[in-house]
A and B are shown apart, each in its own frame.
Chain A
Amino acid sequence: MKKVINESNRVVEEMIEGFLAAYGRYYRKVPGVKGIVRQEKQDKVAVVIGGGSGHEPMFLGFAGEGLADGVAIGNVFAAPTPDTVYEVAKAADSGKGVLFVYGNYAGDVLNFDMGAELAENEGIATKTVLVTDDVASAPPERRGERRGIAGDVLVIKIAGAAAANGLDLEEVTRLAKKANDNTRSIGVALTPGSIPDTGTPTFTLPEDEIEFGMGIHGEPGVKRTKLMKADELTDHMLQAVLEDLPFQAGDEVCVLINGLGSTTLMELLIVHRRVSHVLADRGITVYDSDVNSFCTTQEMGGFSITLMKLDEELKKYYNYPAYSPFYAKQRLGE
């Protein structure tokens, strides 16, 4: 596939250089590792996120006001190294501890756990909340094994807001976990993405087929079906998400429609149109929505639908303003 890159083994370094050249007013590099932190250290619990590159703006783009404080950045589709996690945690910590939030993948867990051990050895208190929103990746009885996909956005939003409100590490952790417990997603893939190093597609799909439940690294999903019209496809996806929590009449939810790379905003908006109709029919109130590409897989075609069920407490933190160059939310509610 055609890519706008220089050296294939320098894409991550050059991406970070470019990010800081653009947004150095808000962020600085963590010396010696592929990590960034907010320019000004805040006197509060630090939220540190991270994962493989190639999903931009996730994770790099979710540090900011009311969001994360630091990002540990991995190679393309690979977890960051333990020393990266450790250095970012150290750079972000203000003495009030660090909450790690990231998607539940074996590599991320291994590396973040080692990084957390190194930080604990230095006297930094740490907690971890794994995002496990992808309903396609394991049945409900093994929910803890599920992957994290675009639900990262909402969990980071709540964790960031809780930390910004001055809550302690226990409370920020509890709220991030609560956000995750109330969040469900499912994705579909239409066309493959590629790894910049090889330039080759990560999987093949016949022109008229889609993969239901495919992961954000191109991991195979749960089944292949014929391509459907947007409304029919959205109905199938919503069904899987709605029955899982389950979401019921009277519930109030946030909706996130996430493009995986090459699916256009036009298509995502068409999906959201249908989502809003179905939820209205079921008596579920949409409190707020976001439609964009937040957690991508290079030029992969497809999208995911995420719902987070709100209660008064989650709503309070969801309402708190957030800002990064790639995600912004003004103060909502009262």
Chain B
Amino acid sequence: MIGALSIQQTKELFAYLAEQFAKNKAFLTEIDSAIGDGDHGIGMALGFARAAEVLAEKDCETVNDVFHHAGMAMLGSMGGASGVIFGTMFMGGAKRTGPFGQLDLEALTALFSSSLEAIKQRGKAELGDKTMIDAYEPAVCALRQCCERAQTLLEGLQVAEEKAREGMEQTKAYQAKFGRAKSLGERAVGHQDAGATSVWLIFRSMREWVERIGG
């Protein structure tokens, strides 16, 4: 079973993410339309497409470089709250950790733990506010636990994906504290948060990619 992605494989991971988000654009947009303004899927698809495009042209010496360029590409192309938040998800940890020569569970855990803090600082959201944090924080906690148990990258991603999915499901029960669903109060209950859904899709796609490489 594969324990790490090379720099090249990490770059290709973003091409796979771009493919998956292009496929799920309509699905995410539908979720967002229920309680937001319906552009989330468009923004995410655009951001990952741009990240894949930029990475194809960039020389990267570390995983940090890959994450940094991907995050910058998302930040510079998407706009909206998702541009800053998901841009920070990839670039937020890249400058503060490592450098890592390959993407193993330890590197991923360090990068995402650090970016989780950066996102919370920037966006001011906490668990239960019906944001991407509701999926991201439990997923990152899962990565940390798996890392402590010296599990593999794939095992870590499998648990993180499951925790992200649970977190995403739980957002259905919450009222929104941020973003455009905020004014809805009770009416946001019953709908899952689009950002949390994207987090789950990111972990699912990462897990699929690692399986694919390993298989």
Contact = CB atoms under 8 A, between A and B. Distances in A.
Contacts of B29: 195, 198, 200
B170 interface: no
B33 interface: yes
Interface of B: 26, 29, 33, 35-39, 42-43, 46, 75-85, 122-123, 178-184, 187
A147 B182 CA distance: 10
B78 A215 contact: no
B75 A82 contact: yes
Contact of B180 (A106, A110, A203, A213): A106
Interface string A192-233: 000101101011000000000101011110100000000000
B42 A107 contact: no
Contacts of A222: 183
A307 interface: no
A39 B113 CA distance: 46
Contacts of B179: 105-107
A242 interface: no
A81 B78 contact: yes
15 contacts: A75-B80, A76-B39, A77-B37, A80-B79, A81-B75, A81-B76, A81-B77, A105-B179, A110-B81, A111-B80, A111-B84, A198-B42, A215-B183, A218-B33, A219-B180
Contacts, number: 114
Interface of A: 9, 52, 74-84, 105-107, 110-111, 114, 136-138, 145, 147, 195, 197-198, 200, 202-203, 213, 215, 217-220, 222
Contacts of A81: 75-79, 83
Contact of B43 (A78, A83, A219): A78
A83 B79 CA distance: 10
Given A202-B33, A218-B38, 8 more contacts: A76-B42, A77-B38, A77-B39, A110-B84, A111-B79, A136-B183, A145-B182, A219-B184
B82 to A, nearest CB: 7
Contacts of B178: 106
Contact of B83 (A79, A202, A203, A220): A79
A55 to B, nearest CB: 11
Contacts of A75: 39, 42-43, 46, 78-80
B33 A203 contact: yes
- Top 8 nearest A-B pairs (CB, nearest first) are A217-B37, A78-B80, A107-B81, A107-B80, A137-B183, A78-B79, A110-B84, A74-B79
A219 B183 contact: yes
Contacts of B83: 78-79, 81, 107, 111
A215 B77 CA distance: 25
A79 B76 CA distance: 11
Contacts of A114: 84
B123 A110 contact: yes
A170 B179 CA distance: 29
B35 to A, nearest CB: 7
Contacts of B35: 219-220
B43 A198 contact: no
Contact of A147 (B38, B43, B183): B183
Contacts of B84: 82, 107, 110-111, 114
Nearest to B182: A145
Contacts of A79: 79-81, 83
A217 B78 contact: no
B182 A217 contact: no
Contact of B42 (A82, A111, A195, A213): A195
A74 B75 CA distance: 12
A49 B180 CA distance: 20
